Chain A
Amino acid sequence: MIRKVPRGSMMNEKPLIFAGLAVFLLAFSYPFWQSTEDEDIPQIAMQTKGEECVAPVEYMRKNHMKLLDIWRDSVVRDGDRFHIMPDGSKVEKSLTKTCLDCHISKEKFCEECHSFASVKPYCWECHVVPKIGSHTELSGIDDVEENKQNLLKNLLARNKPLAESKQSLNKGGQ
């Protein structure tokens, strides 16, 4: 019952298969070898406050994500929280506290380019944008005081004082 494959037919298909593969690979790798013209890249409005960046601008353009990655590991895992600036001064290794302190607009500084490059970093799933930006809108606070009272009420309900639990115990006993 072993199916006999005629030798010839397989050989004839070979060039076709490889041609198809080549077309696929070319199409697949298009974004990698197709260079983008410089003028397409959005010009980032800097709005910088400080004079100097934590690293040369050219380096930051290409490698800011690597730097942030190194920073977060060194802060969280090694407890090493400070970056030494080229002039010898110290700044906190922090996207929110250091980067966005100079480049004040997250929308212009981060998002314009990221949406152009179609990358979606997940920094803001957890970190909170300082001052301007979506922070206030995010927490949707109208009445801070009222919210504080709510929290206190919830906590008190959950961490019942002894007197109350004793009462409920007595009730249960009756």
Chain B
Amino acid sequence: MIQNRRKFLKKSAGLIAGAGVVSGFISKYATGFAKASTEKAASGKSIRWGMVIDMRKCIDGCVKCIEVCHVTHNVPEFDNPKDEIKWIWKSDYAKVFPSKDQQFVSEETRQKPFLSLCNHCADPPCVIVCPTGATFKRKDGIVEMDFHRCIGCRFCMSACPYGSRSFNWRDPRPAIENITPEYPTREKGVVEKCNFCSERLAKGQQPACVEECPENVLTFGNLYDKNTEIRKILKENPTITRKPELGTNPSVFYIT
């Protein structure tokens, strides 16, 4: 009963606030410009999962993290690039960071393969556009997909400024080489993306890509906890995020 009432209150409050644009303004002003909850005090939450990718250590030609991710989550392999689905992949530096200065930069730097995945933004544009709440931000900062609720409108794909989302244009099962039974496959007509291995975190494990990387390129941890390894790295190294000018506040940081 109480649960239901709370849900009802939540929904009706949402409806009222949703006098559209107004609600957007309120939340923007409440958190203050650009600062957008970088400390737990601002958000009242204690966990915000994040990742640092140290590209200095990443080996050219190694795809271990991609392989383990795609096997763990039953990501299909399609020949046609139109149908492609990817959770984590390598792309040229210039493509991952298009707004970075490209003047007088060598071709080698421009084409250096960079890891690209969902940024699990603190202010995710994909979440506000979703009409059914199929994609939503969890309390621990993970931007999660509820495949049961996705209607396949692909608005989130239009809204994501990082191209991190893929759509199941066709039935994925025939294109999965070995199905991992512990994780569901998807059906045609829903959107999917990296979930920071939320199913592994629940068991106290690190994300599969972090665990698999032989060079410790990836560091995963709680950004709201000052004593974590990830905060130490962020403090000691200059890092960048993708398209910071858009105000999405990514939780994935890069050391170049």
Interface residues of chain A, those whose CB is within 8 Å of chain B, are 72, 76-77, 79, 81, 96, 122, 125-130, 135, 138-139, 141, 144, 147-148, 150-152, 154-156, 158-163, 165-166, 169
Contacts and interface: CB of A to CB of B under 8 A. Distances in A.
Per DSSP, chain B at the interface is: loop
B148 A152 contact: no
Contact of A135 (B92, B179, B186): B179
A128 to B, nearest CB: 4
B111 interface: yes
A158 B139 CA distance: 34
For the complex, would chain A's binding face be called helix, strand, loop or mixed by DSSP majority?
Answer: helix
Given A139-B179, A147-B178, A155 B60 contact: no
B107 A79 contact: no
Most buried by B among A126, A152, A166: A126
Contacts, number: 85
Interface stretch (B28-36, B62-70, B209-217): B62-70
B178 A76 contact: no
A155 B148 contact: no
B155 interface: no
Contacts of A160: 90, 113
Given A156-B63, A163-B61, A147 B198 contact: no
A152 B136 CA distance: 32
B154 interface: no
Given A122-B187, A159-B66, A154 B60 contact: no
